[in-house]
Structure 1
């Protein structure tokens, strides 16, 4: 079935890609050999970071002539070393002029690898159902339109490693800016191009914070307060995000009662949970402010015990996708096994064990109280800077559900807030087929995606590529 469906598009892509001239402009630097693998090395003059990478490993991307780089951006200070794993895929179409976008997985909690997004959502290859050994071509990869950069962060996430990990979102934002500066200096042809950030889950923290840090650093560069490459941030997309603890925790209660897939609680239980939220959770959240580690950590524990814990145990369901049974969290995914293969790791230049999601990172952020901090004010600052913002959500995700994501979009203060809130959701179509519902005003769009959990890009690939392209083109999303 797949072969007959994909062949016409495949031939079109081959025709487009094979006519593109090869990319050659980059800072060559020197070479080193580690564990029998040769890496190209570039030393940044701005941050002092090193970029150590292999070129065109032949892994994942199956389209002829598409350049890829994979390796590490090494950030060092006298007391710290952070080896940040990255994997870059050039655009399949017009890579010399296509924009650049970065993907960051957040996860149910922080500490999940962006290789999830690469191999299971929007990357050049995927492990489709029933194929447990080799990846297959993804015809709806985001690098169909943009040059794509996947980054594992913080340290101890995915293939990234070092002697210390980040403990909160603000620390991660500074690391990502340093990593991007090194990338731009090593590959200068991407400087000054439009840049977008796309993320999910805990990306409701990451996306706004990384974007705001980039904007702040741009201002400092323009004022001569720091050195660096100005990053032309034009778009931010977050699906099923954890933005604000008040909204997200309360939305779990309402969603458990009235979602369109599966009612989990009764009307009486709805009232009881809402009362517990207001009397137990809200007072502690009110005391939490960035930097109040002890108070914020207590708020997380209280809200988890009162709301998230008992609700998530109410029935046998996957908190990422209410339509599915509770997963075996210890069962590795096919792509996970693939990335553990010695030959594959050697080819792509990975020199550390792969970890899909790391509890050490989650614990570090949790102990810092990061989960309980609202990133709505940060997102508002990004929207005010004329960045196109997309908030979208698969409607079967329970933990970071579309109820809460819609409330975030409605609460967000921006120039078009009144217009946005006056509109109703209307059908969102792809080539005339209704796959979701949406509304937009100015540069803010919200999209509910039908029949998808948090893995929106896997379950609705055509829709996902369409909204990605529309957002990267700095447009509010629209039906086709």
Structure 2
């Protein structure tokens, strides 16, 4: 067993002699326990820290995933009872002394950022055997040092007490602020580097919250100052009311000429969207029950029919729904958070069995720094307890946090793959243009211009001052996975403040 480099050579998983685990048995025992509503969005979050514990630096002469300098382990959060957030960090392949520092957050809620690391924008991907990794030539670490973080409490390899679970994205933002302070204290050479927060989907809640917390908190003399320069969110869920207004039209009027629903199915779908919009309006008025019901309505009666009736992948309408790879779902009891039993169909397009096999291997967990008294931690793409506690937060509006960040002169990029039906590009384009801030007039007046990569038109860009929206062609919910070269070019230009090319 080992890690495969570009030449096909197998590299050792670790320097400890644990013996090879029985992967077939591990796979059969593994149960992915996922709250179905978590499938709405794979978004990511950030969290807190001040004390580093259990970190495991990886020897440069024993490459693991990539040959660049890296570390993985935990930051203990100072504002929590006993929470430890897991991260996996890789230095830039180019110039780690000067390149920017980037944080990546997967959504969910409760989605592990390790999934993105190993399937989207990390230095390596997991081979089909679940035992080896293959170098990713389009990793975001090509020109940046990147932290992938499991958060909030209970997500991925992160752990803590029952009292430490978060209940909204404002709490998550505060936690993220402390995490970053602690991480930078543990990695002081990156303190002055330009810093960016990136992520996708439900991170459209978390990232604006943490960015607003950073720009509105003045550190004391002995505290680390976070050098935030910008945020970038892919297929964001930020303004649910505006975004969901466009869901029905995309069932027939989409970028790919695909008829997802028609006739009575489409009529019923439109009615379900109307009900959803009414619940979101009540949620905006602080009706907690309506917030929860809205999340359930979205998943059960809006997203689910796209899969079960339309027979397409909700994350990419170009693809048919998957029959293989369906995960076993354990539904919460109705009394758990007033949820109804949610359908299994929406879970069919998330499972990554090879990633699960890799991350649930005890040798891999030991190499990553998971404490011996916690191994094996059952890693899952989405954590049910985290999702359950954040159900009331899904349908809330986080536009004001984006406006606050823009007013503080922080750069903001909202990008969206135009084949996604969960956080569709049309709705994202709409809320960015409707956003109330001092630069609204200039942004609305900005023309959409081609976004070219290697001479090919890869998207359409609207940008003014420090705000940009990019529609990415031929991509679904996970843009770095569908268009790796385009996404790498996009973030490199964004980090360099060169999105708009002459």
Q: TM-score range by the shorter chain?
A: 0.7 to 0.9
Cross-structure match for 2:248: 253
Q: 2:153 aligns with which of 136, 141, 155?
A: 155
- Aligned 8 A contact 1:245 1:374 in 2: yes
Query: Given the superposition, is the C-alpha separation of residues 276 and 123 from structure 1 closer, same or farther in structure 2, using an over 3 Å criterion?
Result: closer
Query: Following superposition, which runs of at least 4 residues in structure 1 exceed 6 angstroms of deviation?
Result: none
User: Which secondary structure state, in structure 1, belongs to the residue aligned with residue 314 of structure 2?
Assistant: coil
Cross-structure match for 2:117: 118
Cross-structure match for 1:134: 132
Residue 70, structure 1, aligned to residue 72, structure 2: yes
Q: 1:404 aligns with which of 427, 430, 435?
A: 427
Q: 2:361 aligns with which of 341, 354, 372?
A: 341
Q: How far does residue 157 in structure 1 lie from its aligned partner after superposition?
A: 1.0
Residue 241, structure 1, aligned to residue 257, structure 2: no
Cross-structure match for 1:436: 459
Distance 2:64 2:233 in 1: 24
Query: Given the superposition, is the C-alpha separation of residues 163 and 291 from structure 1 closer, same or farther in structure 2, using an over 3 Å criterion?
Result: farther
Q: 1:313 aligns with which of 308, 311, 321?
A: 308
- Aligned 8 A contact 1:198 1:236 in 2: yes
Distance 1:289 1:258 in 2: 28
User: Which secondary structure state, in structure 1, belongs to the residue aligned with residue 66 of structure 2?
Assistant: coil
Cross-structure match for 1:299: 294
Q: How far does residue 251 in structure 1 lie from its aligned partner after superposition?
A: 2.3
Cross-structure match for 1:194: 194
- Aligned 8 A contact 2:260 2:312 in 1: no
Distance 2:194 2:263 in 1: 48
Distance 1:300 1:156 in 2: 21
- For structure 1, the 5+ residue unaligned runs are 1-5, 8-32, 36-45
Q: 1:263 aligns with which of 259, 262, 267?
A: 259
Distance 1:348 1:104 in 2: 18
- Aligned 8 A contact 1:51 1:186 in 2: no
Output one character per residue of 1:403-438: Cα deviation in whole Å (capped at 9) or x when no partner.
Answer: 111112212233432233234433211121122222
Residue 210, structure 1, aligned to residue 215, structure 2: no
Q: How far does residue 370 in structure 1 lie from its aligned partner after superposition?
A: 0.2
Query: Given the superposition, is the C-alpha separation of residues 336 and 275 from structure 1 closer, same or farther in structure 2, using an over 3 Å criterion?
Result: closer
Query: Given the superposition, is the C-alpha separation of residues 48 and 114 from structure 1 closer, same or farther in structure 2, using an over 3 Å criterion?
Result: closer
TM-score by length of 2: 0.78
Query: Given the superposition, is the C-alpha separation of residues 281 and 335 from structure 1 closer, same or farther in structure 2, using an over 3 Å criterion?
Result: closer
Query: How does 1:174-185 map onto structure 2 within 5 Å?
Result: 174-185=174-185
User: Which secondary structure state, in structure 1, belongs to the residue aligned with residue 245 of structure 2?
Assistant: helix
Query: Given the superposition, is the C-alpha separation of residues 384 and 399 from structure 1 closer, same or farther in structure 2, using an over 3 Å criterion?
Result: same
Count of residues paired in the alignment: 424
Output one character per residue of 1:305-342: Cα deviation in whole Å (capped at 9) or x when no partner.
Answer: 55444445331111111122323331543122111122
Residue 395, structure 1, aligned to residue 393, structure 2: no
User: Which secondary structure state, in structure 2, belongs to the residue aligned with residue 209 of structure 1?
Assistant: helix
Residue 81, structure 1, aligned to residue 82, structure 2: yes
Query: Given the superposition, is the C-alpha separation of residues 420 and 274 from structure 1 closer, same or farther in structure 2, using an over 3 Å criterion?
Result: farther
Q: 2:401 aligns with which of 375, 378, 387?
A: 378
Distance 1:85 1:336 in 2: 17
Cross-structure match for 1:43: none
Distance 1:168 1:324 in 2: 33
Cross-structure match for 1:27: none
TM-score by length of 1: 0.81
In terms of mean alpha carbon deviation, does 243-252 or 412-421 score higher? Answer: 412-421
Cross-structure match for 1:478: 500
Q: How far does residue 292 in structure 1 lie from its aligned partner after superposition?
A: 4.5
- Aligned 8 A contact 1:49 1:179 in 2: no
Q: How far does residue 401 in structure 1 lie from its aligned partner after superposition?
A: 1.3
Output one character per residue of 1:148-177: Cα deviation in whole Å (capped at 9) or x when no partner.
Answer: 111100112111111132222112112211
Q: 1:284 aligns with which of 279, 282, 297?
A: 279
Cross-structure match for 1:166: 166
